[in-house]
Structure 1
Amino acid sequence: MHDTAHLVSDVMTRTVVALGRGTTYKDIVRAMHRWKVSALPVLESGDRVVGVVSEADLLAKEEYGITDVAGPAKAGAVTAEQLMTAPAITVPEHASIRQAARIMALHQVKRLPVVDDRGALKGIVSRSDLLRVFLRVDEDIAEEVRREVVDVLFPAPAEPVRVEVRDGVVQLTGRIRDTTLVPVTARLVRAVEGVVDVRCLLAGPPRRPDLDPDLPDAERGRALPASRGS
């Protein structure tokens, strides 16, 4: 197969800094500063993700102050358990990169803890990790499109289907026997990792020339047998 990263587990960072429930406010700040991250998962039982502490959670104390009774509860929080957002927004390690991107967009977060079926922490995936698929070279994309899409849908095209890729934009040209497959083709090509856009310029087979263009279709059908016998 190819070296495309289809799954979250292919692009995630496996070395993860995590917090315990009792980790103090200042230790959380120190960890974020040291590792240059904006959020950290909180674990219990050694590896199970129960929440996430982000910079936004920490800033509540700065915004309202510990003595501001009108501020949120997190303004007075001093441990990870009190600060964390729970339950944690996570992504399964076998989820697709597109699924992870949708979760990030839906919840407006920049990174996600990656977990296994038990909820145990396996890694962290960030926005920049998900964008790595677009670093794939054009030649690899073209080869996969030919093998996984063109050769499967059009084993005997009316004429060869040409695949050209430039800066991740795929262009398909040629003639196929069934033009109803054009929308399907575009959708499958767009699903190939690293594809930025698709220009599907496939056409149907060339029309056969009319034997007698001056006759209406119905009369032409009746006239053909007589012309063969003359």
Structure 2
Amino acid sequence: MHVTVNEVMTREVVSVHHATPFKDIAETLIEHGVSAVPVIDDAGHVLGVVSEADLLCKEEFQELYYQEGYKPPLRARLRHRLSPEGAGMRDKAAGETAAELMTAPAVTIAATASVVRAARTMDEHGVKRLVVTGDGGILRGIVSRRDLLRIFVRSDADIVRTIREDVLERALWVETLGIRVEADHGVVTLSGWMDRRSDARIAARMAGRVDGVVGVIDKLNWKRDDRVWGV
């Protein structure tokens, strides 16, 4: 029932080799209008991500330590010199290739993962896009927040088909002749009759979890109330 990352991701991905020089990385970002690119090895395995921020470390450190007459505050100098984060920035400032400049490991998602898992991973790591990998960590694509929104522009007909076939027929094994499934701009209405009250409740809940469903209006009736009283 869930749409996978493979179905919504961008497949034509701009990437750089781990040996790509600083200047070529910068030109790649500018030419393609992107803020970051995956770094891969000879076999296409994802090693990390190099971003505008990674490249700008060099400029920042030039300003901090080499600009004539400039002396940053003591707190700033200590942060850059003593903190683990500052040490990493110093290394990137001295870096000349993608392998030396990149942030690793990259935040990745499997192509077979659901878009729900992708959204949660983005939220957990505070990123707007994920590198998509296949078997063995091979680069497959990029999935962004905008890509994830595609699930909400599924046609109403596709949503109705999914609920009828995947929820009612395959998951619940119920006869669908007496059940009406309608969708209007992602809002699903279930009506008609089911044998058991418990199945009707499950059907409504499962329909609400189908990708692209905005809401569910439950008008289902049942022939037998099989709930446990007092629960």
> Are 1:115 and 2:133 an aligned pair?
yes
Taking the aligned partners of 1:66 and 1:83, their CA distance within structure 2 comes to 18
Asked if structure 1 preserves the Cα contact closer than 8 Å seen for 2:10 and 2:142, the reply is yes
SS at match of 2:104: coil
The one-letter code of the counterpart of 1:193 is D
CA contact (8 A) 1:115 1:122 kept: yes
Gaps of 5+ in 2: 66-76, 81-85, 226-231
* Whole-angstrom distance in 1 between the partners of 2:222 and 2:60: 64
- 1:176 match: secondary structure: strand
Compute the displacement of 1:124 (Å). Answer: 1.8
Q: Identity across aligned pairs (percent)? A: 44
How far apart are the structure 1 equivalents of 2:213 and 2:55? 38
**Does structure 1 conserve the Cα–Cα contact (< 8 Å) formed by 2:2 and 2:114?**
no
SS across alignment from 1:177: strand
Which residues in structure 2 correspond to 1:61-80 (within 5 Å)?
A: 61-65=58-62, 67-68=64-65, 70=80, 72-73=89-90, 74-80=92-98
The one of 167, 186, 191 equivalent to 2:185 is 167
CA contact (8 A) 2:17 2:42 kept: no
Specify which structure has the bigger relative contact order, considering alpha-carbon pairs within 8 angstroms and separated by 6 or more residues.
2
**Quick one: structure 1 residues 19 and 206, their matched pair in 2 at CA, closer, same or farther if it must change by over 3 Å?**
closer
Q: Pick from 25, 33, 37: which aligns with 1:36? A: 33
The answer to which structure has the higher helix fraction is 2
The SS at the match of 2:174 is coil
2-side partners of 1:174 and 1:62: how far apart?
66
Query: 1:1-230 residue pairs with structure 2 within 5 A?
Result: 6-65=3-62, 67-68=64-65, 70=80, 72-73=89-90, 74-152=92-170, 153=172, 155-156=174-175, 160-205=178-223
State the shift of 1:120 in Å: 1.3
| Bigger Cα Rg | 1
Q: How many residues align?
A: 203
Which is further off, 119-128 or 194-203? 194-203
**Equivalent position SS for 1:123:** strand
Q: Output the TM-score relative to the length of structure 2.
A: 0.75
Question: Secondary structure at 1:204's aligned position in 2?
Answer: strand
Root-mean-square deviation over aligned CA pairs: 2.8
The answer on whether the counterparts of 1:101 and 1:130 sit within 8 Å (CA) in structure 2 is yes
Q: Could you tell me which runs of 5 or more consecutive residues in structure 1 were left unpaired when the two chains were aligned.
A: 208-230
Distance 2:51 2:208 in 1: 34
